[in-house]
Amino acid sequence: MSGTPGDILLQALDPDPTRAETKLASIRTLLIRYFEFNWLRDPEDLAQEVICRVIKSLDEGKKITATKPQSYFYGFAANILKEQRKAFYKQSVSMIEDPSTHHRTGASQRELDSMEARIYLDECGQVLEPDERELLLSYYLDGREKLSRRMGITVPNLTLQIHRLKKRIRGHVNKESKTDTSDR
């Protein structure tokens, strides 16, 4: 394979350039949906980041060995999802421990929206006991299989526990939203 890193990616997807571009556009759309489904900001940028990482990987000599190329891309997407969740968790924890570190003058609207989301998340988390909050965060950060093994319970049992915690939070959110609209 020769050419630019982008050409290498297209050649890895399909020898025919037109079909390769169509496949890449389809994969990009699937990646955007993946990030939207996981409630991440800027899913288009994250999808582009996945494509850049795949290009870098191919440029380093690695090959797409999966029978479905989108599986290879999803591996990178899963890593980005973990990175995003860990970063959000670290920011949330540091903001809770010392809110003054996140107070900046001239913060952009995106930073304010993110801060409001963290505050709201913290308020919702207050519905739960500290060990329940930790369980919920571990479920999303570590993954359910790893967490269920660590807890010594089955995945369905863990999923049921998480479902009940989320139901309590939803009940709190619904109650709060009814209170907010009745105050007007």
The domain tally of the chain equals 1
Indicate whether 30 belongs to any domain. Answer: no
Among 44-48, 81-85, 118-122, the minimum mean pLDDT is found in: 118-122
Q: Model confidence over 147-183: pLDDT tens digits? A: 899 999 998 898 899 888 888 877 876 776 666 555 5
Ranges of beta strands (E only) in 30-96 are none
The rounded distance, in Å, linking the Cα atoms of 81 and 122 is: 21
The domain in which residue 162 lies consists of 127-184
- The Cα 90–Cα 93 span in angstroms is 5
In a domain, 180, yes or no: yes
Residue 141 lies in a domain: yes
Per cent of the chain over pLDDT 70 is 74
In a domain, 77, yes or no: no
Q: For residues 27 and 55, give the distance between their C-alpha atoms in angstroms, rounded to a whole number.
A: 14
Domain contains 43: no
Query: HSE on the CB side for 87, CA within 13 Å?
Result: 9
The Cα 175–Cα 163 span in angstroms is 18
pTM for the full model? 0.54
